[in-house]
Amino acid sequence: MRLINHTSVADELLREIIRFTCPPGVHGFDITFKNCAAGYRGRAYSQGTRYHTAKVAGRKVVRSRVPYIVIGRWDRETRFKKPYKFYQGDGYLGVKVFSDEEALVHVVAHELRHLWQARVKSGRRVWGARGQFSERDADAYGLACVRKWRRRP
């Protein structure tokens, strides 16, 4: 796993969140944390993306096939309304979080679950999930991780 952090959050906290939320069997991915003006959001690319490139033979830049995740978050605490309510509808579950850490846990867990879904084509999904890449399943996994995060010592 390679972490690229463009935010003011400490790298140690981000690594702890990634280790805490990573589903079994998901490894070898790159993850980038960026500042975003539109709230907490993420995107998982299970086959890599053309924006995420790798240098081959010194100069040549090619599309990387490494799974890639981009996480956007607000960088100013004043804009974070507590509790923050994630969007509900179109397959998403409404999730309420009460801190910046909980919001990061939810988004990272949600996107890592999409990488797990790409790896396990017909594995166990949450009730009501439709298809291989289910937003309902990813949100349910994110909610379970947020609840575990709240209970940790």
- Please give the helix or strand (H or E) that residue 62 lies within, else none: strand 60-63
Domain ranges, ordered by start, for the chain: 2-151
10-residue mean pLDDT profile of the chain (153 residues): values are 89 96 93 85 86 60 77 67 70 80 92 93 78 87 94 89
**Cβ 69 vs Cβ 45: under 8 Å:** yes
What pLDDT score does 3 carry?
Answer: 92
What pLDDT score does 117 carry?
Answer: 92
Distances (CA, A) of 6 to 36, 74, 104: 11, 12, 14
What pLDDT score does 21 carry?
Answer: 97
What pLDDT score does 78 carry?
Answer: 46
